[in-house]
Amino acid sequence: MIICASKMEYPLRTQCQRVQKQVMVNGEKERVSLLVSRGSVDAVSQQMASHPQYLESFLRTQHYILHMDGPLPLPYRHYIAIMAAARHHCNYLVYLHSTHFLRVGGDPKWLQGLEAAPLRLRLLDNINKVLAHQPWLTACSHIQTLLKAGEQCWSLAELVQAVVILAHCHSLCSFVFGCDTDADFVPLSSKSPNGTPPTFCPFDAANGNTNVPQSLATPSEHITRRRSLDSSGDVTCLKERIQKSQEEREKQTLQQTDTEEEEEMICLADPSRFITDPDFCYQEFARKEEDHFQVFRVQDYSWEDHGFSLVNRLYSDIGHLLDDRFRSVATLSSLHSDDLKRAIWNYIHCVLGIRYDDYDYGEVNQLLERDLKLYVKAVACFPDSTKTPVCPLRWTPLKTSERIHINLLIMEARLQAELLYALRAITQYMIA
């Protein structure tokens, strides 16, 4: 399989290069300590910056699904991301995508709750719930319901992009909770140290967006205007214009303050308003007394042989970008042996109902310490601080970058698992 993602250029490459330059200390790649406080990059990218090769692949994929060509409007994409993050009560991602949602023209009323969103988006709630907590329940019927919903039906291309966004954000919740980013999250506000209003994201500068708010603009415009007024020679007219200008400026400032306070209040809303059936959560895939779920066998449906080609056909280029992420996390230099990384990956798939016939699962118990298994399962299956406390990773000899590497493995393994279940259901619908 030819991977062409490295040849594709996106605006976020500049951001990633900036991160790579800042993590080079004495010839070694270390974590970035001041990026977030300086407004250069968000907290998630700060954590991933200790693995710049993977970070570039991650940012490229994320930028593509949220901002580049695709069948879904930009507000829809961010609202779907909000719905996905809300399933795990991830305040950090809900706030982040709420601000993006408003910035790309989303209707603020939608942020009042799921019931305020269009019916087409509300129809995604069921598959969002299933993929987030019990992906093995994803069935052809879920796909059929969405594609045959009358006037509110989804196209196949739209649904595929929506599923990719859901899976991406679900798995990102695991990383956020695993790195404790959500606990350290402090939302931007108009009173933030760097003076950045809540609706302005430092990502914009990295993405080539030069629409900086007036409060951050240089005073050259005001200087030019003053000189033009001074040259008018009409003192009376000048006073009137100055007074009118001051009144308009005060009015604009009040309106902007009210708008920012309203948007910030909306963005800091309880994530639970974007979900239904809050008691639906992860359950053990196979219990001894009720082992009635069919195991997903990779030999029957795999990413390499089935998922990649299907998603790439229905959503151009995304297959290459996702495949590059899977390969990047697998090839990262690490203190962990390849056998240990494979054991972590296969264990996550196992607890989500996916099995490899050619793998000896006895290696999981041999290679993964009990504390590590508890941590991996908690982060992969229920990364929600409101329900289950995340077990601490007590491998003290590990560097920070090695701990983050484990969280990256968890995130990517979960991402692929959700995609496999969703894409298999779509395949079943197409051949039915």
Q: Could you tell me if residue 277 is left (phi over 0), alpha (psi between -120 and 50 degrees) or otherwise beta?
A: left
What is the three-class DSSP state of 82?
Answer: helix
Q: What distance in Å separates the CA atoms of residue 112 and residue 54, rounded to the nearest whole number?
A: 36
Q: Give the C-alpha separation, 140 to 398, whole Å.
A: 43
Dist. CA 344–CA 271, nearest whole Å: 30
Rounded to 10 deg, the angle between the 156-178 and 125-133 helix axes is 40
Residue type, 371: D
Determine contact, residues 337/363, Cβ cutoff 8 Å.
no
Q: Which two tokens stand for residue 410?
A: 């968890």
Give the distance from CA 20 to its chain's centroid.
21
Q: Phi and psi for 297 in degrees, rounded to 5?
A: -100, 120
Active site residue: 16, 90, 169, 201, which one? 90
Neighbours of 357 (CB within 10 A): 9
Rounded to an integer, what distance in angstroms lies between the CA atom of residue 376 and that of residue 50?
20
Contact 170, 134 (CB under 8 A): no
Q: Running DSSP on this structure, what letter comes out for residue 287?
A: B
Q: Are 87 and 170 in contact (CB under 8 A)?
A: yes
3-class DSSP state of 300: coil
Distance of CA 343 to the CA centre of its chain: 25
90 among known catalytic residues: yes
Q: Hey, how many other C-beta atoms are within 10 angstroms of the C-beta on 359? A: 16
Give yes or no for a contact between 138 and 421, defined as CB atoms under 8 angstroms apart. Answer: yes
Catalytic residues: 90
